[in-house]
Amino acid sequence: PHILEIPTTAQWLAVNNELLRAEAHAEAKDELLAAVSHELRTPLAPLLAALTELEQTVAPYNAPAVHDCIQVLRKNILREARLVSDLLYRLELPAPEPEPLPLSKKYPRPRRVLLVEDHADTLSTFARILRHKGFEVREARTVSEAIGSSQPGDLLLSDIALPDGDGRDLMRQLGARGIPGIAISGFGTAKDREEYRRAGFAESLVKPVDIEELLCAIGRVTEVATGLELQRM
C-alpha cells in the first residue's frame, strides 16, 4: 500500500502470512541446528571421558608411547568439538558459553548420583568413572526411570533430550523434592542455558564433558570447594 493509504484486509492477510512463513522458517532452522549440535556433540562425550579414565589408569606406568597416543587422541577429540562449535557459529547458532550459571544456594555433598542419559556409551562410561571416584550411581535412560529411582539426597546429572520426555521437566519434578541437578547436553546456546536455569538446574555443561570438568561442576553446586576434594573421596 502507498503512504497514508489504508491497507485492505487482503493486503494485511498477505503481510501476516509472509511474517508467519518467515517465523516458521527461522524456527525450523533453529530446531535443525539444535538437533545437529546434539547429534554431533553427543558421541564425543564418552570418547573424552573414556580417554581420561584410560589416562588415569596408565598414569603409574612408565609408558611414554602410550601417553603420547593418549595426548594425540585428546587433542583431536577437542579439535573436533571446536570444529562443531565453529561450524554451528557460522550457521548462526551461538556457541556455548563457558561461564557457570549463578547459584542461589549450596547443597550437601552428595553420596548418590542419579545419572540420566539415553546414549548407552555415555551412560556406562560416566557411571563407571563416577563409581571409581567414590559415588554411588544409579543409572536411568528415561524420565520415568529417573523419577522411579530418585531418592532424597541425590544429585541429578541429566541429559535434556530423553526418549519419553525432557530433562527440564524431570528437573522441575525432582527439584520440588529438594534434589539439585546439573544438565549435561549437546544443546548449548545461551537460550538453552537460560531455559535450564529456569527449569531449576544449578549448572549446565555442554558435551563433550571431561570428567574433571564435571567434578568441578559438582563441587560448585555442593559444599565441596573444588573437584579435587571429590577425587579424594
> Does residue 15 lie in a domain region?
no
Query: Is position 150 within any domain?
Result: yes
The pLDDT value recorded for residue 103 is 45
Q: Is the pLDDT of residue 71 over 90?
A: no
Evaluate if residue 6 carries a pLDDT over 70: no
Average pLDDT over residues 40-54: 82
Question: Can you give the C-alpha Rg of the chain in angstroms?
Answer: 21
Ranked by mean pLDDT, the top range of 57-71, 74-88, 147-161, 209-223 is 147-161
Whether 154 is covered by a domain: the verdict is yes
Per-residue b/e over 127-162, b at no fewer than 16 CB within 10 Å? bebbeebebebbbbbebebbbeebeeebbbbbbbbb
Question: Is the residue at 196 inside a domain?
Answer: yes
CA 157, 149, 153 angle in degrees (round to 5)?
60
Beta strand spans in 69-145 (E): 112-116, 136-140
Domain count, the chain: 1
Quote the DSSP letter at residue 189.
S
Is 4 inside any structural domain?
A: no
Q: What is the pTM of this model?
A: 0.69
CATH of the domain at 136: 3.40.50.2300
Q: Quote the cell numbers at residue 45.
A: 562425550
Evaluate the CA torsion angle 64, 70, 73, 77 in order and state its sign.
negative
Question: Is position 57 within any domain?
Answer: no
pLDDT at 101 over 50: no
| Position 98 pLDDT exceeds 60 | no
Q: What pLDDT score does 147 carry?
A: 96
